[in-house]
Homo-oligomer: A and B are copies of this chain.
Amino acid sequence: MQLTQFTDFSLRVLIYLVRLPEPGMATIPEIAEYYRISRNHLVKVVNTLANAGLLVTMRGKGGGLRLARPADTITIAEVVRLTEPNMNLVECFDPKASHCRIDRGCFLKAILYEARKDFLAALERHTLADAARMGSGSEGESPAPRGARM
């Protein structure tokens, strides 16, 4: 059971933005370099997050990305629901794909629905602000303000 890399990268981008000093903007190349992941991956991630209204992007000199809403109003569940292609734990969650002969008479699906509900409920209890809190690890430092690195 895994979340997609797309979800992983989406959460990393958002956490990066939460940690920027106010008023902060970031760029895709900067975030790609910080996490050492491909810019191409991040372009897709940023487009998805921007289209969903989680990010604001501004073009031109001094432009970049920032969160569209306060970090404590965006739950982890909202992001995961957006970025996971589906939450179909097994084939029979998708009526169009299901070929299981016991589909309609099987309580396993109800049990797995309950587990998925509890999984998402845990993610509803936490926001990007929680996820971006600073830990004690030495690698957990805030990204430097952009000006400070120029």
A10 vs chain B, min Cβ distance (A)? 11
A88–B12 alpha-carbon span in the complex (Å): 16
B111 touches A126 (CB 8 A): yes
Q: Tell me if A22 is interfacial: C-beta within 8 Å of chain B.
A: no
Task: Give the residues in chain B near A34, CB-CB below 8 Å.
Answer: 101
A103 touches B139 (CB 8 A): yes
A84, A102, A121, A126: most-surrounded residue (chain B CB, <10 A): A102
A95 vs chain B, min Cβ distance (A)? 12
Task: Give the residues in chain B near A88, CB-CB below 8 Å.
Answer: 2
Task: Give the residues in chain B near A2, CB-CB below 8 Å.
Answer: 1, 86, 88-90
B36 touches A99 (CB 8 A): yes
Q: Tell me if A134 is interfacial: C-beta within 8 Å of chain B.
A: yes
Task: Give the residues in chain B near A111, CB-CB below 8 Å.
Answer: 76, 122-123, 126, 130-131
Q: Tell me if A133 is interfacial: C-beta within 8 Å of chain B.
A: yes
B1 touches A3 (CB 8 A): yes
